[in-house]
């Protein structure tokens, strides 16, 4: 962290460092500076870090996303602005939060400029249908017999018959509530697009 200051990546002295809870692969640190600014440094594999940087660069105007401030040239880590709030929704209606997300972010996604496959950016599949089919199989293995067979078959048929986009779009990839930040009862941010869907 001191190296960030010494190299001039951050202009002010770091007065506190705190480890944040993150995903299974990433390591996150909250840095607070003398001027009161807070920034997050996130370490991950280069493929995932690059994917997240691409996503944040492409959607830098989205007000729900953190601002990308720095990317290590070797993609070992990146730094972005800290979004104040809590991941606890405090009784917020999920439907309202998802509607808000759709209006402010999902409906504004754009086609990917370039891509090397479909699905996870760091583990692309040959087709969108193959990506979805593999995801269904993996989910089925995880949940076992909790999902009735007729429901599992309905989902498989849905993927087989769905109209697929001709062009890929750059998506967040994990809009679960664990990646939503709430403040004063409102959706304030969406974090952690470690591997963006295309």
- Give residue-wise pLDDT tens across range 126-176: 888 888 888 888 888 888 888 888 888 888 888 888 766 677 888 888 888
Supply the CATH classification number for the domain 2-81.
3.30.200.20
pTM of the prediction? 0.83
Q: Could you read off the pLDDT of 27-60 as tens digits, one per residue?
A: 899 999 888 889 999 998 898 899 899 899 999 9
Each as own residue / partner, the long-range contacts of residues 3-12 (CB below 8 Å, 24 or more positions apart, any chain) are 4/31, 4/41, 4/70, 4/79, 9/70, 9/79, 10/39, 10/79, 12/37
């Amino acid at each position: 962290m001191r190296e960030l200051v010494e190299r001039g990546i951050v202009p002010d002295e770091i007065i506190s460092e705190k480890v944040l809870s993150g995903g299974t692969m990433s390591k996150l640190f909250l840095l607070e500076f003398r001027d009161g600014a807070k920034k997050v440094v996130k370490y991950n594999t280069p493929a995932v870090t690059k994917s997240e940087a691409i996503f944040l660069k492409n959607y830098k105007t989205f007000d729900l996303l953190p601002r990308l401030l720095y990317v290590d040239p070797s993609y070992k880590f990146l730094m972005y602005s800290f979004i104040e709030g809590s991941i606890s929704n405090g009784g917020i209606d999920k439907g309202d939060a998802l509607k808000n997300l759709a209006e402010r972010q999902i409906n504004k996604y754009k086609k990917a400029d370039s891509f090397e496959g479909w699905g996870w950016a760091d583990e692309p599949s040959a087709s969108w249908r193959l990506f979805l089919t593999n995801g269904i199989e993996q989910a089925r293995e995880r949940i076992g017999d909790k999902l009735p067979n007729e429901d599992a078959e309905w989902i498989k048929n849905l993927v087989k018959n769905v109209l697929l986009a001709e062009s890929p779009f750059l998506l967040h990839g994990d809009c679960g509530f664990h990646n939503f930040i709430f403040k004063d009862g409102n959706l304030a941010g969406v974090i952690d697009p470690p591997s963006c869907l295309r």
